Amino acid sequence: MDVDTLKGIFPYLFPNLFNLDYVGPMPEISYYNSNVTTKLYDSLYQEKWSLRDETLKYLDKDLSALLEILNEFQDDLFINHNLELTSSLTISNLALTNS
pLDDT at 98: 65
Angle at 4 between CA 90 and CA 44, to 5 degrees: 115
Question: 38, 82 in Cβ contact below 8 A?
Answer: no
**Distance of alpha carbon 24 from alpha carbon 49, whole angstroms:** 5
pLDDT at 53: 97
pLDDT at 26: 98
The pTM for the full model equals 0.79
**Distance of alpha carbon 86 from alpha carbon 23, whole angstroms:** 42
**Would you give per-residue pLDDT tens digits along the chain (99 residues)?**
788 898 889 999 999 999 999 999 999 999 999 999 999 999 999 999 999 999 999 999 999 999 999 999 999 999 998 999 888 888 888 888 764
